[in-house]
Amino acid sequence: MKHYEVEILDAKTREKLCFLDKVEPQATIAEIKSLFTKTQGKSLKDEDVLQKLPVGTTATLYFRDLGAQISWVTVFLTEYAGPLFIYLLFYFRVPFIYGHKYDFTSSRHTVVHLACTCHSLHYVKRLLETLFVHRFSHGTMPLRNIFKNCTYYWGFAAWMAYYINHPLYTPPTYGAQQVKLALAIFVICQLGNFSIHMALRDLRPAGSKTRKIPYPTKNPFTWLFLLVSCPNYTYEVGSWIGFAIMTQCLPVALFSLVGFTQMTIWAKGKHRSYLKEFRDYPPLRMPIIPFLL
């Protein structure tokens, strides 16, 4: 049978990256990509020890330029500080937002002030966690991500704030009862989210990249680890559902839906990583929603 020889070049520099011989005529592009990946070897972690790698006394390492990078801390601080500041612009009704007669006026609805407090505390919490709680396994991320993330967080914050703080905003249909129920959901989920972040921090000593299976602690909020791999995402989604019920605002509901979709993707990825890395990983856990997803 006749075989093909495939030469793979860098699209920008035209530099030869790989030469594949004896490629089957029926090979798909996906199969060729797989062959190329195998010839390039596996990616190495910063903590990998040279003598433990499958190489002889002579090793060849390949460098890949990841492009402009930025620290995770900088990204998080930027994307979280934006919504905090933007929401307050609408809450205080600064000029050129709702019209001159509404400049620096205040809403007569209690739920509007409560919503501002909850939204502000949520992002203050995120900023403080970024500075004092989170321990990142990777030091940097692509610079382009900061523009994408800020567009998402800042844009939704402005959209939500515009309607919730609008002079024509009307309170939820079921009044105080609906607001109290939603507030309880929001507070419980915020406490749960913080508890999970603290539990995850305690698994990784400062300056370490050690990965361990997270288990429930004496804190009842961490008991969700019995059923879910990423309860921090579960609590995060719950917080925004509570905020949506409290404000009865469509942009908040859409933000919750988009956030849930993205966090589900992240949770599934982390769940797969746990299953691959730990053979004794608890079999009952689901990525984000107990027994379902």
Give me the pLDDT at residue 19, please. Answer: 67
What would the two tokens of residue 119 be? 């939204």
Query: Phi first, then psi: what are they for 186, rounded to 5°?
Result: -60, -50
Let me know how long the chain is. Answer: 293
Give all strands (DSSP E) within 80-190, no chain letters.
Answer: 140-142
The string of DSSP codes covering 211-271 is -------SSGGGGGGGTBS-HHHHHHHHHHHHHHHHHT-HHHHHHHHHHHHHHHHHHHHHH
Please give the model's pTM, rounded to 2 decimal places: 0.79
In tens digits, what is the pLDDT along the chain, a chain of 293 residues? 566 667 776 666 767 666 666 667 677 776 666 666 666 555 655 556 555 655 455 545 555 655 677 888 888 999 999 999 999 999 999 999 999 999 999 999 999 999 999 999 999 999 999 999 987 766 677 788 889 889 999 999 999 999 999 999 999 999 999 999 999 999 999 999 999 999 999 888 776 667 889 999 999 999 999 999 999 999 999 999 999 999 999 999 999 999 999 999 999 999 999 999 999 999 999 999 999 99
Could you give the C-alpha distances from 155 to 83, 127, 128, 159, 259, in angstroms and in order?
8, 18, 22, 6, 13
Cα–Cα nearest to 109, from 179, 187, 157: 179
Local structure of 188: helix, strand or coil? helix
Give all strands (DSSP E) within 132-220, no chain letters.
Answer: 140-142
